[in-house]
């Protein structure tokens, strides 16, 4: 997963501009048409850093999964066949292969099918508060881990860029994730170009060397890179640094 350039502002249904920035807590797609189920789950999730977006049917949920990133998907098995298909489809999507899936079952007999389809957690109706809280607490760390994989942290530091066909030059980072970064470059870069990066993360004494590939570039010097090779020690440091930044954001 590469880092991306910040998205422009969007408009709400009344035409008012609003920021496209997502909430810093984990994002959950809740698929249910049952008001009681929705209220119960939303009340429980509000107590944790979980931000729910509700879809009433599997078709609408599939479309949302194609256009937005969620760290978790909670599926009501009120319509069991459609729910099973949605769980299977989510596991086939590259962007949601690692998302946490919680199946809300009509009874325990549906448990084997839900797990086989790809659910990580199951809970049977009626939703008892103690069991629901315990399940959400068990699922939450996995949601945070999934968010960290895609989390883009704003970061402006010098980046030295070189390649076999280029002399070294300086660029500036815009944001970074575990899998890549966005930057501004004074030198035009070509899509699929292989480059070498040298940069020093905040708080780290030694410069890190990472190999990358250009995924996209525009005529204003904005570039998106995917990390092709990151040394294990550098990746450990990057993951720890991103985890600390993400934790700070979730605590805000």
Q: What is the CATH number of domain 19-150?
A: 3.40.50.2300
Q: Would you state the pLDDT for residue 250? A: 65
Over residues 75-100, mean pLDDT: 93
Q: Would you state the pLDDT for residue 238? A: 87
**What are the residue ranges of CATH 2.40.10.220 in the chain?**
153-251
**Percent of the chain scored above 70 by pLDDT?**
89
Q: Is residue 12 over pLDDT 60?
A: no
Q: Would you state the pLDDT for residue 251? A: 62
Question: Confidence band (pLDDT; 50, 70, 90) for 5?
Answer: very low
CB within 8 Å of 147: residues ≥ 6 apart = 26, 27, 71, 246
The answer to whether 236 and 225 are in contact (CB under 8 A) is no
Q: Would you state the pLDDT for residue 24? A: 54
**What angle (nearest 5°) sits at the alpha carbon of residue 229, between those of residues 223 and 233?**
115
- Chain CA centroid to CA 185, Å: 26
Could you read off the pLDDT of 186-245 as tens digits, one per residue? 999 999 999 999 999 887 888 999 999 999 999 999 999 999 999 998 988 888 888 888
The answer to whether 102 and 30 are in contact (CB under 8 A) is no
Over residues 80-103, mean pLDDT: 93
Q: Which has more confidence, 51 or 243?
A: 51
How distant, in Å, are the alpha carbons of 85, 112, 204, 213 from that of 116?
Answer: 11, 6, 44, 37
| Separation between Cα atoms, residue 79 and residue 188, nearest integer Å | 52
Over residues 135-155, mean pLDDT: 88
Q: Would you state the pLDDT for residue 252? A: 59
Q: Is residue 65 over pLDDT 60?
A: yes
Could you read off the pLDDT of 146-193 as tens digits, one per residue? 887 777 889 999 999 999 888 999 999 999 988 899 999 999 999 999
- Strand 100-105 with 121-124, pairing: parallel
Regarding the domain delimited by 153-251, which CATH topology (the fold level of the hierarchy) does it fall under? Thrombin, subunit H (2.40.10)
Q: Is residue 64 over pLDDT 60?
A: yes
The answer to whether 201 and 208 are in contact (CB under 8 A) is yes
Could you read off the pLDDT of 20-40 as tens digits, one per residue? 344 457 899 999 999 999 999
Question: Confidence band (pLDDT; 50, 70, 90) for 3?
Answer: very low
**What are the residue ranges of CATH 3.40.50.2300 in the chain?**
19-150
| Separation between Cα atoms, residue 152 and residue 7, nearest integer Å | 12
Question: Confidence band (pLDDT; 50, 70, 90) for 94?
Answer: confident
Q: Is residue 141 over pLDDT 80?
A: yes
């Amino acid at each position: 997963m590469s880092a991306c350039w910040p998205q422009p502002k969007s408009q709400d249904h009344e035409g008012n501009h609003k920021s496209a920035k997502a909430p810093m807590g984990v994002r959950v797609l809740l698929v249910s048409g049952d008001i009681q189920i929705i209220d119960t789950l939303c009340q429980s999730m509000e107590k944790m850093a979980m931000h729910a977006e509700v879809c009433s049917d599997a078709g609408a949920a599939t479309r949302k999964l194609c256009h937005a990133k969620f760290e978790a998907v909670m599926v009501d098995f009120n319509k069991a066949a459609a729910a099973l298909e949605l769980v299977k489809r989510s596991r086939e999507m590259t962007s949601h292969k690692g998302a946490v899936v919680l199946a809300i079952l009509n009874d325990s007999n549906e448990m084997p099918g839900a797990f086989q389809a790809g659910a990580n957690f199951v809970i049977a109706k009626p939703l008892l508060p103690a069991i629901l809280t315990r399940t959400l607490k068990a699922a939450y760390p996995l949601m945070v881990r999934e968010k960290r994989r895609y989390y883009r942290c704003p970061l402006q530091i010098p980046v030295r860029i070189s390649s076999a066909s280029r002399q070294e030059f300086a660029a500036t980072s815009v944001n970074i994730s575990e899998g890549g970064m966005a930057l501004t470059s004074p030198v035009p870069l070509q899509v699929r170009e292989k480059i070498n990066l040298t940069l020093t993360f905040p708080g780290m004494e030694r410069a890190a060397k990472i190999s990358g590939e250009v995924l996209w570039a525009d005529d204003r010097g904005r570039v998106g890179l995917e990390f092709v090779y990151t040394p294990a020690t550098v990746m450990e440091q990057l993951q720890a640094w991103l985890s600390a930044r993400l934790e700070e954001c979730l605590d805000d």
